[in-house]
Amino acid sequence: MDNLEEDLTCSVCYSLFSDPRVLPCSHTFCKTCLDNLLQVSTNYSIWRPLRLPLKCPNCRSVVELPPAGVDALPTNVSLRAIIEKYQMDSEPRPPSCPEHHRHPLNMYCIQDRQLICGLCLTVGQHHGHPIDDLQAAFIREKRTPSQLLKKLSEERWAQVCELGEQLEQEKARCEGVVRQDRQEVSQFFQTLEVVLARKRQAYLDALDKAEAAVSRVYDPLIHRVKELQEEQLDLVSLGSSVEEENSPLVFLEKVHLFRERVEEFIKTPLPSVTNLSVTPRAADYLQHHWSAVTIGKWGKKKKISCEEKENIKLMKSSNLGLLTVFHDLPGLIF
């Protein structure tokens, strides 16, 4: 390529021929260069007035030009066509290897995802690594972001959204049960508001603990699902930005990182839905355990009888939990 460029270079201006014209001695020069030379040669007065003298820069022979000057010289059409094709086909030279001086970085290392030279592959740190042409690798991976985005935007997204809805529904159901029990407790103790104020508060505290237990079970799961949703949205945005990357080298690096993140995200297990059963229900508990409570005549201290002590436990299995409220609520003495 260097020898060809030298052959296509004008010996006067040392640039590629521009509008090449052929002298009668068969040497070719740029039209502009010949115009400049002709101006210098006008001091030749011994020549016929209808002819313009010019000394060829290559062979040093003096040739006669027609009265029209350089414009009348024939154009080197073949040379002009070669120059035009050379300019169209020529591409920027690849950068040189920083480790091996003057060796072009003309190969793409698939393993390390970077451009390397021949010595890097044969005797350097990339010895034995699989290689490919950069443009071929770019074309091969061009559709990868859209394929990865397709994985993210279909079944996985539907599973995550469905799981989030199930968890929200389960939490709302359990919270609704707790709220309903809170109302039952409040209504039951309205008739004994003064006498049973402390007992009522104790039951409400137990329900608060039950509600807190529900939150402890579901809040981490819901929070995790929202994190998965946000992560998938981030990956969708990242994939779109990767598709718009035009630099092959930067694109391939981003595709690799994007593929790793997508594969890691897909492998992430989804949390399972825990179904809690709130028991005993307040209405049933009050009906069975407090129906035998009696209050003696005013002024006589009598102990309100309860059948047994209550316990609070949170028993968990894979997808089933038992939430027991009303733990060791003390009796009242008048």
Cβ–Cβ under 8 Å, residues 210 and 278: yes
CATH class of the structural domain 2-89: alpha beta
Cβ–Cβ under 8 Å, residues 228 and 160: yes
In degrees, to the nearest 5, what angle opens at C-alpha 213 toward C-alphas 211 and 217? 120
Q: What is the pLDDT of residues 302-330, one digit of tens each?
A: 343 333 333 333 333 334 455 665 555 54
Name residue 107's beta-bridge partners: 116
Q: How far is CA 27 from CA 13, 56, 84, 291, in A?
A: 15, 8, 19, 124
Phi and psi, residue 93, nearest 5°: -70, 140
Instruction: Answer yes or no: is pLDDT of 50 > 70.
Output: no
With pLDDT > 70 as the criterion, what percentage of the chain qualifies? 78
pLDDT of residue 217: 87
User: Taking the domains of the chain in order of start, what are their residue ranges?
Assistant: 2-89, 107-132, 144-324
The mean per-residue pLDDT over the stretch 9-17 comes to 85
- SS3 (DSSP) at 319: coil
321 versus 245: which is more confidently predicted? 245
CA dihedral 134, 140, 146, 149 (to 10 degrees): -80
Amino acid at 163: L
Q: How far is CA 161 from CA 154, 155, 228, in A?
A: 11, 10, 10
The mean per-residue pLDDT over the stretch 232-236 comes to 91
pLDDT of residue 174: 92
pLDDT of residue 9: 87
**DSSP per residue over 80-140, as a string?**
HHHHHHHHHH--PPPPBPSSSTT-B--EEETTTTEEE-HHHHHTSTTTT--EE-HHHHHHH
Phi and psi, residue 44, nearest 5°: -75, 110
Band (pLDDT 50/70/90 cuts) for residue 300 is: very low
pLDDT of residue 322: 58
Q: How far apart are CA 39 and CA 22, in angstroms?
A: 18
In degrees, to the nearest 5, what angle opens at C-alpha 310 toward C-alphas 305 and 311? 165
Full-model pTM:
0.38
Q: What is the mean pLDDT of the chain?
A: 78
Q: What is the pLDDT of residues 251-279, one digit of tens each?
A: 999 889 989 989 998 898 988 888 888 77
The mean per-residue pLDDT over the stretch 169-183 comes to 91
Q: List for the chain the helix, strand, coil content (%; round to 5).
A: 50, 15, 35
pLDDT of residue 173: 92
